[in-house]
Structure 1
Amino acid sequence: MVIRLSQLRLSFFLILTFAFAIEVLDAGGEGSVRQEACPRACNYRCSKTHHRKPCLFFCNKCCHKCLCVPSGTYGNKEECPCYNNWKTKEGRPKCP
C-alpha cells in the first residue's frame, strides 16, 4: 500500500510539472491566457489609454473568446490572430 501511495504522489507531481511546462512553452500565443487571467492581462493592455472603460470591456470580451491578449499596451496583434481578425460590422477591429 505504501508503494502505491508514493507512486500516486509521484504521478501527480509529474502531471503538474508537465502541465506547467506546456503552459510556459505556449506563452504568448492563442489559447495562452486562461479566462480567469483575462482581467489582469486586459488591465495591463489598457493601462495607457484615455478610453479605459471601453478598452477593458472589449479587451475582456476578446480575451474570453480568443484566450489571448497581445503583449504590450498597443500593437502586437499579430501574436493573436483571433484577437486581430475579429471585426465589427463596419469592418473595424473589435479588439483593442
Structure 2
Amino acid sequence: MPTISMFYGILIRMYMLDTKQHHLPHIHVEYAESEAIFQIPDGDLLEGELPSKQYKLVQAWIALHSDELMADWKLAASGVTPYKIEPLR
C-alpha cells in the first residue's frame, strides 16, 4: 500500500485495487496507534478514529487536495501506483 503523503506524524495511504470493502473512493490514515478511513473527496469518516487535532488536519488536507486524491483513486483502482501528494506545512 503506497504512502501518498506524510505530515505531522500522519501517514496517508491508498491501497491499489481497493474498491470492494467500502465501494467509495477513500484513503487510509494512520497516526500513532490510531487508524481511520476517510472518504474522498468530502472527507467523511468511514471507519476508525483519530485524535481530534489529527482528524481536523486530515479533513483540511483532503479539502485542499480533493482533485489530486480523486485522480490518484482512479489510478489505484485500476492497479496503477498513485502519485505522491504534497503534505500540509
Shorter-chain TM range is: 0.3 to 0.5
Rg larger in structure: 1
If the length of structure 1 is used for normalisation, what is the TM-score?
A: 0.30
Greater RCO (CA < 8 Å, at least 6 residues apart): 2
Higher helix content, 1 or 2: 1
Higher strand content, 1 or 2: 2
